[in-house]
Amino acid sequence: MSSRLELIGPQGLRTDGRRFNELRNMNCKPSVLSQADGSAYIEQGNTKCLAAVYGPREARTKAQVLHNRANINVEISLAPFSMEERKKRSKSDKRILEIASAVKQTFEPIIMTELYARSQIDIYLQILQFDGGTVQICINAATLAIIDAGIPMKDYVCACSAGCIDDEPVLDLNHLEESNTPELTVALLPKNDKITLLQMESRLHIDKFQQVMEMAAKGCKEIHTVLDKAVRENIKDLLKKSSI
Amino acid sequence: MVKEFESSINEKDFILQGIKEGLRLDNRDIYDFRQLGITFGPDYGRSEVTLGNTRVLAKVSCEVMRPYQDRPAEGMITLSTEMSPMAFPSVEPGRPSEEEILVSRILEKAIKRSRAIDTEGLCIVANEKVWSIRVDIHFLDHDGNIIDAACIAAISALAHFRRPDITVIGEEVTIHSIEQRNPVPLSIHHMPICVTFAFFENGEYVVVDPTLQEEQIRQGDMTMTLNIHKEICALSKAGGTPLKMETIINCSQIATTKAKWITEQIQAALDAEKSKK
């Protein structure tokens, strides 16, 4: 039975050899696509995501025009080869639409959309490989791509998940862990420690809630340093290239 | 597309000012729910919930089906939500709107993912036959906070539902009609209750159970799903205004008391219905 699965080994290590409070290995690179205004590629453990941002540009249909701010459009697709079982997922899958709407609503108050009235910002996200934490990687990739596109934002948005295995809070769940434990995803603005997105599935006792949320928030801060470093390095590269 | 009806700027300012002073148009406290009404029947598994002017109808039905291959000994639960133009003038019929997707996902997480219903108890013959329970949720009137009303309607309809009794002899399955034998209730592990908060003025003011007008001027919302054992079954705050951690912890405390109150209301309504029969 899957519920009897040992998620913590005898040495106190998790199935992929991490400790309780350890993030998965994170790799990220902005500016990976030539056509997009901004793009980014992120790996968090075995979950891989590619993001492209277009805009601010003219809205595609008149119905999408907002007279006082830019409209944000988010599309997420899961590659058919991203999961164990090869399967084509339709774009109207409820789960994917839910994540897309969560990403959209997360960025709406953060991007300074009021500067670009009557225009549209498109965020396209492609999950290339899936191993848990779809929401968090989508948000992190989108943040990096929006920064790369030069669209003004109030702050970074960093997302991270945390869960609870045998009453012990654990950070950054992989797919095996998230299907067997409660999972809490937090998106944080690192500058003022405010939470923009909070999602949880499965059952967690309220006494543990604060502990798990604080752990996820700590993970968000770690992710922030990684993203910030990637952005700064990218800018340094650009400066070097332009000075020649 | 029909544009949604919006309140005037004066009206919005008036409501917002009231919330800042701790007053609401319908004379409630900011942490109060509206009047909750739960009625059942006439047949099993049908409940109608009113929360102020919001009205939701839920109907549970069942049929025997072949189980999923990866879960041969578990029954199925399907939730279906329907937003008709009757309650939502801005909704285009036929195509699910973003709001509808979010509502149905929250309900799915609240009821299915939190394992509120014992699905293993719905198995008849492993690999061959299981009960498939279907909950149809119809929104009849929309005056804000449809999620909480829909959740109460769904869980109370499930608690009220009785499925036909069966006997299994070897491979032979007999389904007894309701007249032949007393139908059996579903086994419910816990009752998940959704509590929705609306936030104003960058998260400084919090309101429980927002009306439609309050929903139109809110800057963010959060739905917490809890049960009476103080377990959080689902939580959803999809973007919106950023919040401090203390606000969220505070909300979770309010939500526990509200969940307890609503559970008691559902239980009372179920008991009253039972004594009537």
Report the 10 Å Cβ neighbour count for A132: 22
**Residue A4 domain-assigned (yes or no):** no
> In 3D, which of A174, A138, A172, A129 has the Cα closest to residue A157?
A138
> What residue in B sits closest to A155 (Cα-Cα)?
B242
**B234–A contact, CB cutoff 8 A:** yes
pLDDT tens across A116-139, in order? 999 999 999 999 999 988 999 999
What is the distance, to the nearest Å, from the Cα of residue B150 to the centroid of all Cα atoms in its chain? Answer: 3
> What residue in B sits closest to A202 (Cα-Cα)?
B114
pLDDT tens across A210-229, in order? 999 999 999 999 999 999 99
The number of C-alpha atoms within 13 Å of A31 and in the hemisphere containing its C-beta is 12
Residues of A in contact with B236 (CB under 8 A): 198-200
In A23-99, which ranges are E strands?
26-30, 38-44, 47-58, 71-78
Residue B123 has pLDDT above 50, yes or no: yes
Of B113, B241, B252, the CB nearest to A206: B252
> What residue in B sits closest to A62 (Cα-Cα)?
B1
> In 3D, which of B28, B255, B276, B22 has the Cα closest to residue B160?
B276
Q: Is the Cβ–Cβ distance between A78 and A124 less than 8 Å? A: no
pTM (predicted TM-score)? 0.90
> How would residue B199 be classed by pLDDT, with cut points 50, 70 and 90?
very high
**Residue A20 domain-assigned (yes or no):** no
Question: What residues contact A34, with CB distance under 8 A and at least 6 apart?
Answer: none
Of A97, A102, A204, the CB nearest to B239: A102
Measured between alpha carbons, how far is B107 from B117 in angstroms, rounded to an integer?
13
Name the average pLDDT for chain A: 90
Question: What residues contact A201, with CB distance under 8 A and at least 6 apart?
Answer: A182, A183, B109, B113, B234
**B274–A contact, CB cutoff 8 A:** no
Phi, psi of A56 (to 5 degrees): -65, 130
**Residue A138 domain-assigned (yes or no):** yes
* Average of per-residue pLDDT across B149-163: 94
pLDDT of residue B57: 95
Domain count, chain A: 1
Percent of chain B with pLDDT over 90: 62
Residues of A in contact with B220 (CB under 8 A): 109
The DSSP secondary-structure symbol of A64 reads G
CATH number at residue A233: 3.30.230.70
CB distance A196–B245 less than 8 Å? no
pLDDT tens across B161-187, in order? 999 998 988 888 888 888 888 899 999
* Average of per-residue pLDDT across B85-110: 83
CB–CB contacts below 8 A, A to B: 107
Hey, of A158, A184, A201, which one would you mutate to test binding to chain B, going by the most B CBs within 10 A of its CB?
A: A201
pLDDT of residue B2: 59
Measured between alpha carbons, how far is A114 from A168 in angstroms, rounded to an integer?
43
CB distance A205–B244 less than 8 Å? no
Percent of chain A with pLDDT over 90: 66
* Average of per-residue pLDDT across B134-148: 93
* Average of per-residue pLDDT across B55-75: 91
Max Cα distance, chain B (Å): 71
Q: Which residues pair with A121 in a beta bridge?
A: A72
CA trace torsion A214, A219, A222, A228 (10° rounding): -100
CB distance A200–B102 less than 8 Å? no
> How would residue A171 be classed by pLDDT, with cut points 50, 70 and 90?
very high
Residue B201 has pLDDT above 70, yes or no: yes
Q: Is the Cβ–Cβ distance between B12 and B217 less than 8 Å? A: yes
> How would residue A2 be classed by pLDDT, with cut points 50, 70 and 90?
very low
**A87–B contact, CB cutoff 8 A:** no
Name the average pLDDT for chain B: 90
Percent of chain B with pLDDT over 70: 99
CATH code linked to domain B14-276 = 3.30.230.70
Query: Which two tokens mark B121?
Result: 């108890």
Structural domain range at position A161: 26-243
Query: Which two tokens mark A2?
Result: 């899957």
Q: Is the Cβ–Cβ distance between B142 and B52 less than 8 Å? A: no
Q: Is the Cβ–Cβ distance between B31 and B148 less than 8 Å? A: no
What is the distance, to the nearest Å, from the Cα of residue A77 to the centroid of all Cα atoms in its chain? Answer: 14
pLDDT of residue A1: 35
Q: Where are the domains of chain B?
A: 14-276
CA distance B67 to chain A (A): 17
**B252–A contact, CB cutoff 8 A:** yes
B87 to B48, B54, B83: CA distances (angstroms): 15, 9, 7
**A213–B contact, CB cutoff 8 A:** yes
Residue A242 has pLDDT above 70, yes or no: yes
Hey, of B69, B95, B105, which one would you mutate to test binding to chain A, going by the most A CBs within 10 A of its CB?
A: B105
Query: Which two tokens mark B41?
Result: 């029947």
Phi, psi of A29 (to 5 degrees): -145, 120
> What residue in A sits closest to B112 (Cα-Cα)?
A202
CB distance B242–A98 less than 8 Å? no
Residues of A in contact with B233 (CB under 8 A): 202-203
**B156–A contact, CB cutoff 8 A:** no
Greater pLDDT, A162 or A90 = A162
> How would residue A31 be classed by pLDDT, with cut points 50, 70 and 90?
very high
Residue B1 has pLDDT above 70, yes or no: no
CB distance A198–B236 less than 8 Å? yes
Residue A26 has pLDDT above 80, yes or no: yes
CB distance A197–B237 less than 8 Å? yes
Element (H, E) at A159: strand A158-165
CA distance A241 to chain B (A): 37
pLDDT tens across B13-28, in order? 999 999 999 999 888 9
Of B235, B242, B249, the CB nearest to A189: B242
* Average of per-residue pLDDT across B48-56: 94
The DSSP secondary-structure symbol of A40 reads E
CB distance B232–A209 less than 8 Å? yes
**B203–A contact, CB cutoff 8 A:** yes
**Residue A105 domain-assigned (yes or no):** yes
**A94–B contact, CB cutoff 8 A:** yes
Residues of B in contact with A205 (CB under 8 A): 229-232
Three-state SS for chain B is CCCCCCCCHHHHHHHHHHHHCCCCCCCCCCCCCCCEEEEECCCCCEEEEEECCEEEEEEEEEEEECCCCCCCCCCEEEEEEECCCCCCCCCCCCCCCHHHHHHHHHHHHHHHHCCCECCHHHEEECCCEEEEEEEEEEEEECCCCHHHHHHHHHHHHHHHCEECCEEEECCEEEECCCCCCCCEECCECCCCEEEEEEEECCCCEEEECCCHHHHHHCCEEEEEEECCCCEEEEEEECCCCCECHHHHHHHHHHHHHHHHHHHHHHHHHHHHHHHHC
Measured between alpha carbons, how far is B135 from B79 in angstroms, rounded to an integer?
5
Q: Is the Cβ–Cβ distance between B155 and B225 less than 8 Å? A: no
